[in-house]
Structures are given as C-alpha cells and as structure tokens.
C-alpha cells in the first residue's frame, strides 16, 4: 500500500496514530520571516483540508506565538488530530525587581524569530519545570489535551558547557519522572525528545523508556548522520521516530539559485555542491529534488512520520504534492552514488 500524507501510522504501544506527514509550526513563530496571523491560520486550515492530522508546536516557536496560533485552529475542529508540544523552556518577562538567571549563551541552532512575542526563555528541565511547562502549554493552546511531550533541545551542541547541568535536571532532578507520571496518569499518551542531536536520544534511552522522538536534520537525503547506528537502535528499542528538518533548513526545497540555508545558517560551498549533485540526478528522472527529500526518510522502517513547516497554504499544498509523488525505485541508488561522489 502506498503511503500518502494522510496515511495513519501507529506510535509504538501508545494507541496513538500520526499521519505520515505532519505540520511543524516553527515557521508560524516567525522563522526567517514574518508570518501574519491570517496567513498562519489559513495554512493550518489547509493542512486539515488535505487530511493532515498531526500538528507539532513548542513554547520556543515565536516565544509562545506558535502555540497560540495552533490552538486557535485546532479548537475549531473535531479532535481527530494528534498534538505534540515541548518542555524544557519556561517563558517569562524581564521586570523590575525580578531576578532571572543570566541570559543563556546563544544556541547555534536557534535562528531567532521575526515576530515573536515579548517573552524570554529560561531553560528548566527539572520536575517542577516540566510540570509547569505542561500546564502553561495547555493554557496557551486553550486545550486540555496534549498527546505527546518532547524534551526540547537538550544536548551538548545546544547547551555546550551547561549541558551537564541541564542533563542533571532531566535525570536526577526529576524531569523524566514528571513525564513518566504524566503518562501514567493518562494526561499524555507518550513522551520523548525533540532535538537536533541523535546522540542525546541514545543517552536518554539509558535513563528511561521513550515512546516517540523528533529528530531534526540528522537523517535526510543530504545528511545521513543518524542512519548507520541510531535509527537501527531506535527501531530495536521500539522508539517511533518523527523526522523533521528533511529539507535541512530549506536547501533541499529551494529552486536552483534560490536561498541556500543549511542547519539554520548560510550553506558553505561544499554543501551547495553536494545539493547540486543530488539535483542533477533528480533532473535526469524529471523529479523535483524536494519530492525526493521529503520521501527519503520514509524509506527507513524506524520512521513513523515526516514533519514539515510551511508559511503559506500554497507552500503546504506543494509539500503534500511532493510527499504524494511516486518516485522510481532506481532513483535512490543513483542519489546515493551522487552523494558519495560529490
């Protein structure tokens, strides 16, 4: 049976199902460009019309703006969707007399927000921090149902010298225990990590059982970093994988000569050359490079779902068309060779 964007796929033993294509709402927070409210709502409505029933958001996206917009749309529908958000960041404001932790070092994987709301993030992976984040997200979404919680942006690349501190909050400080309690109480159906670093998911599996994890950018047509060791481990441990960043910040979806972003920053010439080698193969098959990029992760049995972001309804419709494109089997071996030789 051909997997389409609207195909439902099971998440481990949680009883939850995700559509094979999901919506990631980082763009609604103003990722790279302003997204007006009406435009964001129209995109989310279009996703529903096209059969997509998995929506992911996070407090970080637009400094809570994305959660507000996602909840605004989903509240108007029949509840047949799956919803995930994230924990690890609390949102607050600078006020006279309020003592806040020092501003954290700039996360190299955080591109900033064009139209974010006037809040400041404070990292907190502790028991109390996870519980408060869960409560805060329900209020912003205007919904008392959240299906999946991901621990957001934990890892050494993200936190550098502060990683051990944050990891201690998550492990010894009760962050994982809070997630376990929320699941045991039936408040959520499952939990995992939402990260750019697969190594930290591997480490987390030594601490607790994970139901579903979102991994961004580390298993794509261009970047196979997680493919050799981590994806087989996730499959062995029964961890469903939601793969995001399949266009690697847009470079695999941009037209030739278009914007060259890779891992949230300007791409260097070596990366651009590899992308053009992949594009040449796709041109030979008369297939859009983006169609190959969005379908590639679904070829691995560890993958449950691919999540993409879109700023407009038209972009979303184009992504669904790419996802639903039938590609010739021979293209994959040719793409592998092109990447090896680039």
**Catalytic site includes residue 219:** no
Which strand (E) or helix (H) includes residue 16? strand 16-19
CA 40 to chain centre: 17
Cα dihedral across residues 51, 328, 232, 336: positive or negative? negative
CA 67 to chain centre: 14
Q: Which entry of 61, 125, 127, 150 is annotated as an active-site residue?
A: 61
C-alpha to C-alpha distance for 196 and 211, rounded to whole angstroms? 17
**Catalytic site includes residue 61:** yes
Q: What spatial distance separates the first Cα and last Cα of the chain, rounded to whole Å?
A: 34
CA distances, 192 to each of 183, 201, 212, 238 (Å): 11, 8, 5, 12
Q: Which entry of 46, 86, 189, 311 is annotated as an active-site residue?
A: 86
What's the half-sphere exposure (Cβ side, CA atoms, 13 Å) at 342? 21
**Catalytic site includes residue 236:** no
C-alpha to C-alpha distance for 200 and 155, rounded to whole angstroms? 6
For 129-149, the DSSP string reads HHHHHHHHHHHHHT-S---EE
C-alpha to C-alpha distance for 117 and 54, rounded to whole angstroms? 24
Q: Which entry of 32, 56, 211, 264 is annotated as an active-site residue?
A: 56
Cα dihedral across residues 35, 149, 303, 157: positive or negative? positive
CB neighbourhood size of 44 (10 A) = 25
Q: Give the bridge partners for 303, in sequence order.
A: 241
Would you say 65 and 115 are in contact if contact means Cβ atoms under 8 Å apart?
A: yes
Would you say 298 and 306 are in contact if contact means Cβ atoms under 8 Å apart?
A: yes
Active site residues: 56, 61, 86
């Amino acid at each position: 049976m051909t997997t389409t964007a609207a195909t439902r796929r099971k998440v481990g033993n949680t009883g939850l199902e995700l559509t094979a294509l999901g919506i990631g709402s980082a763009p609604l927070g103003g990722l790279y460009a302003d997204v007006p409210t009406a435009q964001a709502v129209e995109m989310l409505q279009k996703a529903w019309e096209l059969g997509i029933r998995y929506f992911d958001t996070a407090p970080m996206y637009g400094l809570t703006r994305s959660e507000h917009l996602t909840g605004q749309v989903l509240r108007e529908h029949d509840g047949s969707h799956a919803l995930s958000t994230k924990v690890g960041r609390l949102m607050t404001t600078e006020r006279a007399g309020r003592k806040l932790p020092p501003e954290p070092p700039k996360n190299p994987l955080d591109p900033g927000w064009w139209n974010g709301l006037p809040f400041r993030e404070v990292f907190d992976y502790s028991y109390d921090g996870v519980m408060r984040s869960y409560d805060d997200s329900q209020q912003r979404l205007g919904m008392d149902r959240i299906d999946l919680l991901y621990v957001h942006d934990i890892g050494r690349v993200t936190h550098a010298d502060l990683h051990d501190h944050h990891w201690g909050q998550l492990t010894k400080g009760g962050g994982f225990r809070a997630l376990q309690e929320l699941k045991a109480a039936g408040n959520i159906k499952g939990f995992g990590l939402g990260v750019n670093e697969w190594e930290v998911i591997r480490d987390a599996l030594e601490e607790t059982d994970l139901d579903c994890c979102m991994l961004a950018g580390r298993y794509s047509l261009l970047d196979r970093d997680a493919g050799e060791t981590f994806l087989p481990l996730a499959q062995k441990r029964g961890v469903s994988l939601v793969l995001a960043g399949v266009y690697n910040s847009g470079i695999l979806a941009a037209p030739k000569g278009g914007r060259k972003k890779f891992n949230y920053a300007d791409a260097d010439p070596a990366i651009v050359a590899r992308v053009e080698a992949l594009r040449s193969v796709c041109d030979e098959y008369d297939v859009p490079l983006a169609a190959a990029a969005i379908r590639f992760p679904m070829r691995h049995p560890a993958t449950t779902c691919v999540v993409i972001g879109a700023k407009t309804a038209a972009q979303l419709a184009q992504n669904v068309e790419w996802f639903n494109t039938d590609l010739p089997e021979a293209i994959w071996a040719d793409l592998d060779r092109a990447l090896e030789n680039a």
